């Protein structure tokens, strides 16, 4: 990958904010922070434009909740074309964590995630999307 150098002019307050971002995220330098911000905005634009994205849906739930796993599995089968893999982890006697790797149009992934997170018994859920 070829790297191009260019100059950036920033107001003092904006530069201070950039330096705080570098510290907060433990970036090695300002350039890496700027790369991060650019990529983050590119991914968000892809979400908004309903482009193909990849990501993960993370769910935490009580596996004792009646019929929750069946409903989740049925819903996942409805979206089988978006799901790449599913990992199921037992956190403790009652709680499970499921990570669902997904790829497809952003709105479809959001719809799947919203429907899964809305299931009764889901304690926490989140969709993380990135470029494929």
50-101 pLDDT per residue, tens? 889 999 999 999 989 889 999 999 999 999 999 999 999 999 999 999 999 9
> What tokens does 76 get?
């996942």
SS3 category, 121: coil
Model pLDDT, residue 128:
93
- Check whether residue 44 and residue 17 sit in a common domain: yes
CA distance 45 to 51: 9
CA distance 30 to 21: 9
- Check whether residue 58 and residue 43 sit in a common domain: no
Model pLDDT, residue 40:
86
Model pLDDT, residue 62:
93
The whole domain housing 18 covers: 12-48
Distances from the Cα of 19 to the Cα of 35, 36, 40, 90, 96, angstroms: 14, 13, 17, 40, 39
In a domain, 43, yes or no: yes
């Amino acid at each position: 990958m070829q790297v191009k150098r260019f100059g950036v002019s920033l107001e003092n307050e904006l530069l201070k904010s950039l330096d705080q971002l570098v510290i907060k995220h433990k970036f090695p330098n300002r350039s890496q922070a700027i790369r991060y911000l650019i990529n983050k905005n590119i991914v968000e634009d892809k979400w908004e434009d309903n482009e193909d994205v990849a990501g993960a849906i993370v769910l935490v739930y009580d596996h004792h909740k009646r019929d929750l796993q069946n409903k989740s599995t049925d819903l996942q089968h409805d979206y089988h074309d978006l799901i790449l893999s599913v990992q199921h982890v037992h956190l403790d006697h009652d709680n499970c964590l499921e990570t669902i790797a997904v790829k497809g149009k952003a709105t479809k992934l959001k719809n799947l995630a919203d429907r899964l997170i809305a299931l009764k018994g889901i304690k926490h859920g989140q969709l993380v999307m990135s470029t494929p």
